[in-house]
């Protein structure tokens, strides 16, 4: 049974939307279309870390290698609709019409039985569902950029071939090696977490381009390797600018979905940052979206009957305790990370303490959990999982 022939529309082609789309195609949902406002997929100047709990999911549907090699060319072009900014959603009432009509800013529309809102923390889908809450500013901004290894002194380049965290009072600079040498895309992603009052924020958007000078101001008296990074950033960034982003998070909500009135097999549901945003201090936002993506796609494909509300509620019950806990513990990790005393951070952020604190996140297997908790509700007889 399940909902394999329903018209499923995904709004948003970030990592959450793409994770759901991949999982949906793999699981066998037949009629899935993704609508993304950006005119093309491109790097935005940021890197994310995908940890073992999410890599386990990518492995399960054979994506690990292609993701590493090809990044966003993963799915057939026929499922992707770019340059489509969702403006509103009509809940149709007339006989014979689709349950939902999505209106895009360019005047085009799409029809859907099931809408998956993957449009990030500022989600229009979430707003359209009547959830009028506002995101909260965390007190921190992040500066994000890339350094080519060739733009660093050899010794510093070697040091930054693994993850390194430089810490100071109320701020830290995290370095992640990204890309790979085989495709000549290897370089270091720089993520500087700095405590700043929102009063000093000079952009209406949460994301802006900032002079590298602003980051340098925060770390002027730090160690020589950090000065190498600043100099490297200048060499690797032709416009002398980097991304600056204010960190916001929403409080968890009680319900992630709505059902179409009078219809038991049509509804709207949220996934990724639109449902369960989290501060980045445990590197889990994308990982949670990947876990949620495979969980929702599998539930929709293998649900035993046509009760969509039951399927949505099962998915939410499976995911929400975990994502709420990630949101809470990421907030706590952020508090530790912006401590006045870097020594205190040494106690809490050494590899052993971190490993212990993150164990419940890393060792989790969403597919196992799904199979156990869904044993009576899901029919896996033709599953590829």
Ligand X SMILES: Cc1cc2nc3c(=O)[nH]c(=O)nc-3n(C[C@H](O)[C@H](O)[C@H](O)COP(=O)(O)OP(=O)(O)OC[C@H]3O[C@@H](n4cnc5c(N)ncnc54)[C@H](O)[C@@H]3O)c2cc1C
12 makes contact with ligand X (CB under 6 A): yes
Site for ligand X in 187-226 (CB under 6 A): 191
Stretch that binds ligand X, among 69-77, 221-229, 285-293, 355-363 (CB under 6 A): 285-293
Q: Is the Cβ–Cβ distance between 215 and 242 less than 8 Å?
A: yes
117 makes contact with ligand X (CB under 6 A): no
Minimum separation from the CB atom of position 183 to ligand X (A): 20
Taking CB under 6 A as the criterion, the residue among 287, 295, 296, 308 binding ligand X is: 287
Number of residues near ligand X (by CB under 6 A): 32
Stretch that binds ligand X, among 9-17, 59-67, 221-229, 230-238 (CB under 6 A): 9-17
159 makes contact with ligand X (CB under 6 A): no
118 makes contact with ligand X (CB under 6 A): yes
Taking CB under 6 A as the criterion, the residue among 192, 232, 272, 293 binding ligand X is: 272
Minimum separation from the CB atom of position 162 to ligand X (A): 15
Distance CA 188, CA 229 (A): 10
35 makes contact with ligand X (CB under 6 A): yes
CB-wise, 210 or 284, nearer to ligand X?
Answer: 284
Taking CB under 6 A as the criterion, the residue among 3, 7, 10, 16 binding ligand X is: 16
Please report which residue ranges of 245-284 form alpha helices under DSSP H. Answer: 273-276
14 makes contact with ligand X (CB under 6 A): yes
Q: Please choose, from the candidates 308, 297, 286, the residue with its C-alpha nearest in 3D space to the C-alpha of residue 361.
A: 286
Q: Is the Cβ–Cβ distance between 29 and 4 less than 8 Å?
A: yes
Taking CB under 6 A as the criterion, the residue among 25, 38, 67, 385 binding ligand X is: 38
CB-wise, 29 or 190, nearer to ligand X?
Answer: 190
CB-wise, 115 or 300, nearer to ligand X?
Answer: 115
Q: Is the Cβ–Cβ distance between 252 and 323 less than 8 Å?
A: yes
For ligand X, what does the binding mask look like between residues 175 and 194, x meaning CB under 6 A?
----------------x---
Q: Please choose, from the candidates 376, 265, 298, 290, the residue with its C-alpha nearest in 3D space to the C-alpha of residue 28.
A: 298
Taking CB under 6 A as the criterion, the residue among 25, 28, 45, 48 binding ligand X is: 48
Between strands 164-168 and 171-178, the pairing is antiparallel
245 makes contact with ligand X (CB under 6 A): yes
Q: Is the Cβ–Cβ distance between 111 and 91 less than 8 Å?
A: no
- As a whole number of Å, the CA-based R_g of the chain is 22
Stretch that binds ligand X, among 31-39, 146-154, 177-185, 321-329 (CB under 6 A): 31-39
Q: Please choose, from the candidates 248, 254, 256, the residue with its C-alpha nearest in 3D space to the C-alpha of residue 330.
A: 248
Q: How far is the CA of 350 from the CAs of 4, 145, 165, 357, 358, in angstroms?
A: 47, 25, 10, 11, 12
Identify the helix (H) or strand (E) that includes residue 138. Answer: strand 136-147
CB-wise, 208 or 309, nearer to ligand X?
Answer: 208
Distance CA 353, CA 348 (A): 6
Minimum separation from the CB atom of position 149 to ligand X (A): 20
Q: Which residues contact 223 (CB under 8 A, 6 or more apart)?
A: 166
Distance CA 22, CA 28 (A): 10
Return the DSSP state at 283.
S
CB-wise, 99 or 280, nearer to ligand X?
Answer: 280
323 makes contact with ligand X (CB under 6 A): no
Site of interaction with ligand X (CB under 6 A):
11-17, 35-38, 48-49, 84-86, 118-120, 124, 142, 191, 245, 272-273, 280, 283-287, 289
């Amino acid at each position: 049974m399940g909902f394999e022939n329903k018209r499923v529309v995904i709004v948003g082609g970030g990592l959450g939307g793409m994770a759901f789309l991949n999982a949906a195609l793999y699981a066998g949902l037949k009629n899935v279309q993704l609508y993304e406002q950006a005119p093309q997929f491109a790097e935005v100047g940021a890197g994310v870390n995908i940890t073992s709990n999410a890599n386990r999911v990518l492995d399960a549907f054979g994506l690990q290698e292609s993701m590493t090699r090809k990044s966003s060319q993963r799915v057939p072009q026929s499922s992707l609709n770019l340059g489509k900014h969702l403006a509103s959603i009509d809940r149709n009432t007339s006989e014979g019409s689709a349950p939902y009509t999505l209106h895009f800013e360019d005047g085009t529309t799409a029809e859907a039985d099931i809408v998956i809102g993957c449009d990030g923390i500022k989600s229009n889908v979430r707003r359209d569902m009547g959830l009028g809450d506002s995101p909260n500013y965390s007190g921190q901004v992040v500066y994000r950029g890339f350094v080519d290894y060739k733009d660093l002194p050899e010794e510093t380049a070697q040091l930054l071939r693994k993850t390194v965290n430089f810490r100071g009072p109320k701020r830290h600079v995290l370095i992640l090696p990204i890309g790979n040498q085989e495709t000549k895309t290897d370089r270091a992603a720089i993520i500087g977490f700095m405590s700043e009052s929102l009063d000093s924020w000079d952009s209406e958007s949460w994301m802006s381009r900032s002079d590298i000078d602003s980051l340098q101001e925060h770390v002027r008296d730090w160690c020589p390797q950090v000065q190498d990074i600043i100099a490297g950033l200048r060499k690797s960034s032709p416009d002398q600018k980097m991304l600056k982003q204010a960190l916001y998070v929403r409080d968890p909500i009680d319900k992630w979905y709505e059902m179409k009135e009078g219809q038991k097999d049509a509804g709207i549901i949220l996934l990724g940052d639109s449902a369960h945003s989290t501060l980045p201090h445990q590197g889990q936002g994308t990982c949670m979206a990947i876990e949620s993506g495979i969980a929702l796609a599998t539930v929709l494909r293998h649900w035993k009957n046509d009760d969509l509300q039951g399927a949505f509620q099962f998915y939410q019950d499976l995911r929400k305790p975990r994502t709420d806990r990630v949101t809470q513990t990421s907030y706590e990790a952020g508090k530790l990370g912006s401590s006045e005393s870097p020594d205190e951070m040494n106690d809490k952020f050494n590899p052993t303490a971190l490993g212990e604190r993150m164990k419940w996140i890393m060792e989790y297997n969403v597919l196992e959990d799904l199979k156990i908790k869904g044993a009576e509700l899901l029919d896996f007889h033709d599953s590829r999982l």
